[in-house]
Amino acid sequence: MKRTILITGGAGFIGSHMVRLMVNKYPNYLIVNLDKLTYAGNLKNLLDVEGCSNYIFEKGDIVNTDFISKIFSKYNFDSIIHLAAESHVDRSIHSPMEFIMTNIIGTVNLLHAAKNLWKDNLEGKLFFHVSTDEVYGSLGQTGLFTELTSYDPQSPYSSSKASSDHFVRSYGNTYNIPYLISNCSNNYGPNQFPEKLLPLFINNIQESKPLPVYGDGNFTRDWLYVEDHVKAIDLIFHSGKINETYNIGGCNEWKNIDLINLLCKKMDVHLNNPAGTSEKLITYVKDRPGHDKRYAIDASKLQSELSWKPSLQFEQGLEKTIVWYLNNYEWLSDVTSGEYQNYYEQQYK
Ligand code: NAD
Ligand code: DAU
């Protein structure tokens, strides 16, 4: 095998697309997927690569120092693509400690294990940290986040991600660990857990349940199809300048309410409902505390240095996403049973 790569959080939404891309595109890389399988991790996301000879799954917690140290000795990784995290802003408002443990302590554990493993030879080694645009805080009506925008995280989630970014850079500066960081905007696509806006609303429309719009619905996000995100990570992983940061975004801003109206129209067509049926489910609810008004990414560094651009138009991506959820009702009903019901009650009571 030419490389042995640890992918953390590979059973989650973005992680499973990352694992699939790497396993299929690079048969001469050994891909080790390490995941704790929290409520957000689901090995059914990876049934198609399960039997591949260049793929191994290891269940474990990145917060567990002994376990991490054993895994690093066992495989002698030369690179890490770190996606494991607690990722939902609303959950971070209710339970910030889990975010601090996984997103900060877990990241430092991995950095520490990499430092110990690579101490005698840093040649060809790489710690790739997958982060978010939320570390930059909130934009006003105009402007874009660049790689030089100051950090100004507002939620426990974004603060924990910001902290992990700082630790990655500090291990680079202090111990010469070669690293790359990417900060991406909102992803959407198949396999996203239905606590996030699009899959939650697709699920609720199918079940004729209210669509809970936070505040006045005039919050803006920049949406990118998940496969375009993982293709960008692959490109940066292989060709990015070491110790640099790259912003990734779709150049595709939508106000929540406009996006929700578009989704409702498309769902009515797919479900053969009379026009306007889904829109009637829209229900304005109490705003998320500390809700960031607007995110928008300037991805020109990635475009000019590495010639990256998103492959899908947003309407195509949204269609593909809706079709996937409609065709995978079993996946959706599996993940919305059990603990999900308690979460839903708590969040939307
Ligand atoms: P997700 O919640 O769908 O998946 C997270 C995965 O990490 C799950 O499989 C979970 O089991 C695993 N995990 C959680 N805690 C763990 C622990 N302690 N040890 C080992 N595994 C653990 O998240 P996602 O949306 O796929 O996001 C993946 C990464 O990308 C995160 O770091 C997130 O901050 C970042 N990101 C997400 C988005 C987005 O829009 N979803 C955008 C930019 C960046
Ligand atoms: O920007 C990147 C980030 O995007 C990632 O780092 C996070 O992991 C990911 O969860 C996402 O964060 P957001 O908070 O933007 O995503 P979410 O899907 O939770 O919400 C999108 C917008 O929709 C936001 O303005 C809040 C609003 N919303 C969300 C939910 C769940 C609602 O109005 N109602 C809802 O029920």
Condensed to tens digits (0 to 9), the pLDDT of residues 146-192 reads 999 999 999 999 999 999 999 999 999 999 999 999 999 999 999 99
Lining residues, ligand 1, CB within 6 Å: 8-9, 11-15, 35-38, 40-41, 61-63, 83-87, 102, 106, 130, 132, 161, 184, 186-187, 193
- The structure tokens listed for 252 are 């595709």
Residue 349 has pLDDT above 90, yes or no: no
* CA separation for the pair 133, 247 (Å, rounded): 8
The rounded mean pLDDT for the chain is 97
Residue nearest to atom 24 of ligand 2 (CA): 219
Residue, of 75 and 345, whose pLDDT is higher = 75
pLDDT interval class at 338 (50, 70, 90):
confident
- The structure tokens listed for 31 are 């891909």
- The structure tokens listed for 37 are 């399988």
Q: Which pLDDT belongs to residue 337?
A: 87
Range with the lowest mean pLDDT among 58-67, 97-106, 328-337?
328-337
What b/e sequence results for 63-74 when a residue is b if at least 16 CB atoms lie within 10 Å of its CB, and e otherwise? beeebbeebbee
* Cα 73-76-82 angle, rounded to 5 deg: 100
Residue 163 CA to ligand 1 centre (angstroms): 16
pTM above 0.95, yes or no: yes
Mutual orientation of helices 256-270 and 314-327 as an angle, nearest 10°? 50
**What value does the CA radius of gyration of the chain take, rounded to a whole number of Å?**
20
Residue 80 has pLDDT above 80, yes or no: yes
Give the mean pLDDT of 8-20: 98
Pairing of strands 245-248, 220-225: unpaired
Q: Which pLDDT belongs to residue 293?
A: 98
Residue extents of the structural domains in the chain: 3-193+222-254+295-315
Other residues' Cβ atoms within 10 Å of the Cβ of residue 210: 13
Residue 156 CA to ligand 2 centre (angstroms): 14
H or E element at residue 340? helix 339-348
Listed in order, strand segments (DSSP E) in 215-304 are 220-225, 245-248, 253-255, 282-285
Look up the CATH superfamily of 3-193+222-254+295-315. Answer: NAD(P)-binding Rossmann-like Domain (3.40.50.720)
